[in-house]
Structure 1
């Protein structure tokens, strides 16, 4: 997924993360400076749904405008048929019998 917050904010005339953070606070969502920096400068690992809802309301957009799918990246991560076949041909783990076997707990 590509995170498109800065572009959508720029389209609404919001150029600084501090301004976006202030708008979020006015809407009732307090975001730390560190989390706002992560939202503003990169692709966040986690976005709470209530935060996303308020961001969309401020920017007057849908979540699909902020979260852009990248199917080519997903396809590149998918294992090839040969890799999949190799992964499934791993021998199962067999129990060891004989003198090296550990004793059961007492």
Structure 2
């Protein structure tokens, strides 16, 4: 995924992270300066859905405008397919796991 916060903010006339942070605070989302800097300058590894909702409300956009899919990166991560005569049309093989049975919950 590509994080598109700065471009969407610029489209709304927001050029500084401090201004974005102030607008978020006015909308009810208090973000620390460090977290705002991370959101502004890079791609977050995680973001709370509530926070994303407020960011979208401030920027008047959908989450799809902030999170841009990159299918070519997903395809590059896939392992190469191994062609076999029996498994060419079949999905992944699911085998039962054997081992110690789970204990009973307390009464």
Same fold? TM cut 0.5 = yes
Shift of 1:32: 0.8
Larger radius of gyration: 1
Match runs of 1:41-52 below 5 Å:
41-52=41-52
CA distance in 1, matches of 2:58, 2:39: 15
Q: Gaps spanning 5+ residues in structure 1: where?
A: 83-106
CA distance in 2, matches of 1:81, 1:53: 39
Q: Which residue of 2 aligns with 1:10?
A: 10
Match runs of 1:1-106 below 5 Å:
1-82=1-82
Shift of 1:71: 0.1
CA distance in 2, matches of 1:9, 1:27: 15
Segments ≥4 residues shifted beyond 6 Å: none
Q: Which residue of 1 aligns with 2:98?
A: none
TM-score in terms of structure 2 length: 0.75
Shift of 1:81: 2.0
Q: Gaps spanning 5+ residues in structure 2: where?
A: 83-107
Greater fraction helix? 1
CA distance in 2, matches of 1:37, 1:78: 32
TM-score in terms of structure 1 length: 0.75
Render the CA deviation track for 1:9-48: whole Å, top value 9, x for unaligned: 0000000000000001111111111110110001001111
